[in-house]
Chain A
Amino acid sequence: MNSEKELILNIKDLKVEYRTEDGVVKAVNGLDLEIEKGKTHGLVGETGAGKTTTALSVLDLIQSPPGVIVDGIIELEGKNIRGLKDKEMEKIRGNDVSMIFQDPMTSLNPVMTIEDQIAEVIEYHESGGYKEAIKKTHEMLTLVGLPPKRGKEYPHQFSGGMKQRVVIAMALACRPKLLIADEPTTALDVTIQAQVLTLMKNLRNQYDTSMLMITHDLGIIAEICDKVSVIYAGRIIEHGNLVDIFDNTRHPYTEGLFNSLPNLKDRKAKLKPIKGLMPDPTDLPTGCPFHPRCDYAMDICSKAYPEKQYRNDQHFVECHLYNDDNIEKGGLIKRG
């Protein structure tokens, strides 16, 4: 929209497919995502919506075959990084962009000590050699609240929350410009989740890291993010800042997500689930992919994909319900 904001990551019209024997899985279908420098961008959606595929595309980690990035532009600080050679991509991974995976139990190497695993990243990207890398590793461990002397231990000697701290230390070791966190706290208990989220918030503020936070939890979005994109069937169907998404919800799917959550204030309120199931990505519905589940579906919804309709500078929704006249008023949908 406007050129003033500085973008760390700019994804345009990304299309990713998994070509399997059972058909072509259309995981990401023309996705646009702009992440501003220093901001935390939430990507929220359910299983199979294409959240992780999007993240893996940025780092060129899509398993191929069967995965293919069919189309699209991925720009890091204005430079295209899609289709870079492996050698060049390796320089970006872990250094400019790093990633925290969902499950800390499986993303660490079980036969390597904690400090060696973290030092490996630093040694690879920086010139100081092993000794220097270990020194920096100990700084990182302290930073995430782990005693450096435990660096000599192996992952199985750590609890879930501590392992996730190790993963965070590793991801931040080279001070990346962009941190992609894929459901970083989903596998953790709530009190540990609270510890890890607080840690991530502090580190982000300290280093001014831009972040892409992938989650299915709207509570985490409310807590940590500046901007939110809601993803459904591989497209961003609604995007805006927190006030836009939480207080001026427009898309029926976003609304459905909110209504599916138990209300802490009114425990008697009956949950209003979204009817039906996620569409089969090998056989997406025509028109708007949400129309078979949508309570407001009209004739046109099954025929044409809706255009982006902007409510303000950043808040847009892809839904036939809205036009220039009613987008501000909304009111077609009431939060129940």
Chain B
Amino acid sequence: MDKPLIQVKGLKKYFKTPHGMLHAVDNIDFEISKGRTLGLVGESGCGKSTTGRTILRLLEPTDGNIFFEGEDLASFNKSQMEEKRKDLQIIFQDPFSSLNPRKTISQTIMEPMIIHKLYKTKAEMMEKVLEIMEIVGLAERLVNTYPHELDGGRRQRIGVARALSLNPKFIVCDEPVSALDVSIQAQILNLMKDLQKELGLTYLFITHDLSVVNHFSDEIAVMYLGKIVEKATSEELFNNPCHPYTIALLSAIPVPDIHYKSNRIILKGEITSPIEPKKVCRFANRCEYATERCHSEEPELIEISEGHQVACWMDVVEKNAKK
């Protein structure tokens, strides 16, 4: 196994609310090797975006370590972190609200270079901007256009270009294609995959779309209410899902094939409040297999086969593990 590029240990992010502490991210661990993609899936409010932002210290972690190339980002001070941001970038979900409407494409891509004083002359910088625009498939003639003149697909290409402008090693992709039409979504996903191959990028790919994550990621972690409940390679997770939540989630995808017989599991209720959760299984009240133990003790992630971890008390999991 390669040495991980990024390793997250015991990461916690709590928010103070009038009703108590909101446990958005509650003690999660994962690691991503260089050049690989970890997909982080879950439904709205499960803490996946908070995880992405906390890793980059756009939000301050409440507790835990974030090792990047062996150094703990969580211990960095502001100026150290600023320097490090060159290596760690983010692509946001909504290309309509994440771009400055008063900056042209070139200004947007250039801004990080100016902040980090990467180039001495404007000409050098412009050369790099045009190079990046070509890489992400933006025509040179668009160099002075503003975001409102462009469609969603092109705007998201700007988002990708901005993230690439500092030659990062690691990119958090926070639902990068959710706001796009399928034909455009496929264009952007292909682009990101090609870039990964060419530039050796490492991705944390955050999404709620399971078919996209399956296509895009090497490994997948499923989050529920601030916890990772299951983690495995994409193939393993789709072929042999073990956590009842993962199973329900997978069964809920509408499949564009009329011969497909789905065994849909309809979950009762909705995600419960992440404010001051009890030390029990957080999925228990929606789970059809829940027993007394689930309502009284919190399950930890256990490895059931190589690289496949599940946090569940269910016997089925144990039986699966023996298979």
**Contact residues in A for B187 (Cβ distance below 8 Å):** 273
Tell me which residues from 170 to 191 in chain A have a Cβ below 8 Å from any Cβ of chain B. 189-191
Looking at the assembled complex, report how far the CB atom of A294 sits from the nearest CB atom of chain B, in whole angstroms: 12
| Cα of A192 to Cα of B35 in the assembled complex, Å | 34
Smallest Cβ-Cβ distance to A272: which chain B residue? B186
9 A-B pairs with CB atoms under 8 Å apart are A46-B181, A46-B183, A194-B264, A198-B264, A256-B183, A262-B215, A267-B214, A270-B190, A278-B151
| Cα of A161 to Cα of B44 in the assembled complex, Å | 12
Contact between chains at A277 and B153 (CB < 8 Å):
yes
Looking at the assembled complex, report how far the CB atom of B150 sits from the nearest CB atom of chain A, in whole angstroms: 10
Which of A216, A247, A267, A269 is in CB contact (< 8 Å) with B258? A247
Known contacts A218-B256, A222-B258, A267-B234; is A260 also within 8 Å of B182 by CB?
Answer: yes
Known contacts A189-B208, A192-B270, A222-B260; is A264 also within 8 Å of B182 by CB?
Answer: no
Looking at the assembled complex, report how far the CB atom of B255 sits from the nearest CB atom of chain A, in whole angstroms: 5
Contact between chains at B183 and A159 (CB < 8 Å):
no
| Cα of A256 to Cα of B270 in the assembled complex, Å | 35
B223 proximal to A (CB < 8 A):
no
Contact between chains at B253 and A264 (CB < 8 Å):
yes
**Contact residues in B for A264 (Cβ distance below 8 Å):** 211, 214, 238, 253, 255
State which size class the interface on B falls in. Answer: 35 or more
Which of A46, A191, A242, A259 is in CB contact (< 8 Å) with B248? A191
Question: Which residues of B are at the interface with A, using a C-beta cutoff of 8 A?
Answer: 43-44, 151-153, 181-187, 189-190, 193, 208, 210-212, 214-216, 234-235, 238, 248-249, 251-258, 260, 262, 264, 266-267, 270
**Contact residues in A for B182 (Cβ distance below 8 Å):** 46, 216, 257, 260-261
| Cα of A260 to Cα of B189 in the assembled complex, Å | 10
A-B contact count (CB 8 A): 115
Q: How many chain A residues touch B (Cβ–Cβ < 8 Å)?
A: 45
Contact between chains at B257 and A246 (CB < 8 Å):
yes
A332 proximal to B (CB < 8 A):
no
Contact between chains at B44 and A246 (CB < 8 Å):
no
| Cα of A263 to Cα of B212 in the assembled complex, Å | 9
Contact between chains at A190 and B253 (CB < 8 Å):
yes
**Contact residues in A for B44 (Cβ distance below 8 Å):** 160, 189
| Cα of A277 to Cα of B154 in the assembled complex, Å | 10
| Cα of A271 to Cα of B152 in the assembled complex, Å | 19
A113 proximal to B (CB < 8 A):
no
**Contact residues in B for A194 (Cβ distance below 8 Å):** 251-252, 264, 266-267
**Contact residues in A for B189 (Cβ distance below 8 Å):** 262, 271
**Contact residues in A for B152 (Cβ distance below 8 Å):** 47
Contact between chains at A193 and B252 (CB < 8 Å):
yes
Binding site secondary structure of chain A:
helix
Contact between chains at B254 and A222 (CB < 8 Å):
yes
A326 proximal to B (CB < 8 A):
no
| Cα of A272 to Cα of B186 in the assembled complex, Å | 7
Contact between chains at B215 and A191 (CB < 8 Å):
no
Contact between chains at B186 and A273 (CB < 8 Å):
yes
Contact between chains at B270 and A190 (CB < 8 Å):
no
**Contact residues in A for B252 (Cβ distance below 8 Å):** 190-191, 193-194
Looking at the assembled complex, report how far the CB atom of A51 sits from the nearest CB atom of chain B, in whole angstroms: 12
Which of B43, B183, B234, B254 is in CB contact (< 8 Å) with A273? B183
| Cα of A216 to Cα of B258 in the assembled complex, Å | 16
Q: Which 9 A-B pairs have the closest CB atoms?
A: A219-B254, A262-B215, A273-B186, A218-B256, A189-B43, A260-B186, A271-B186, A194-B252, A46-B181
Looking at the assembled complex, report how far the CB atom of A265 sits from the nearest CB atom of chain B, in whole angstroms: 9
| Cα of A264 to Cα of B253 in the assembled complex, Å | 10
Contact between chains at A221 and B256 (CB < 8 Å):
yes
Contact between chains at A267 and B186 (CB < 8 Å):
no
**Contact residues in B for A33 (Cβ distance below 8 Å):** none
Known contacts A222-B258, A260-B182; is A195 also within 8 Å of B153 by CB?
Answer: no
A243 proximal to B (CB < 8 A):
yes
Tell me which residues from 146 to 171 in chain A have a Cβ below 8 Å from any Cβ of chain B. 159-162
Tell me which residues from 239 to 287 in chain A have a Cβ below 8 Å from any Cβ of chain B. 242-243, 246-247, 256-264, 267, 269-274, 277-278
A81 proximal to B (CB < 8 A):
no
Interface bits A271-310 vs B (CB < 8 Å: 1, else 0): 1111001100000000000000000000000000000000
Interface bits A193-207 vs B (CB < 8 Å: 1, else 0): 111011000000000
Contact between chains at A262 and B212 (CB < 8 Å):
yes
Looking at the assembled complex, report how far the CB atom of B236 sits from the nearest CB atom of chain A, in whole angstroms: 12
Tell me which residues from 213 to 246 in chain A have a Cβ below 8 Å from any Cβ of chain B. 216-223, 242-243, 246
Contact between chains at B183 and A257 (CB < 8 Å):
yes
Specify which of A160, A219, A246 lies most central, judged by the most chain B CB atoms within 10 Å of its CB. Answer: A219
Contact between chains at A271 and B215 (CB < 8 Å):
yes
**Contact residues in B for A221 (Cβ distance below 8 Å):** 256
Smallest Cβ-Cβ distance to B264: which chain A residue? A194
Smallest Cβ-Cβ distance to B151: which chain A residue? A277
**Contact residues in B for A242 (Cβ distance below 8 Å):** 258
**Contact residues in B for A197 (Cβ distance below 8 Å):** 254
| Cα of A197 to Cα of B214 in the assembled complex, Å | 23
Known contacts A190-B252, A219-B253; is A261 also within 8 Å of B210 by CB?
Answer: no
Looking at the assembled complex, report how far the CB atom of B193 sits from the nearest CB atom of chain A, in whole angstroms: 8
Looking at the assembled complex, report how far the CB atom of A138 sits from the nearest CB atom of chain B, in whole angstroms: 21
Looking at the assembled complex, report how far the CB atom of B314 sits from the nearest CB atom of chain A, in whole angstroms: 18
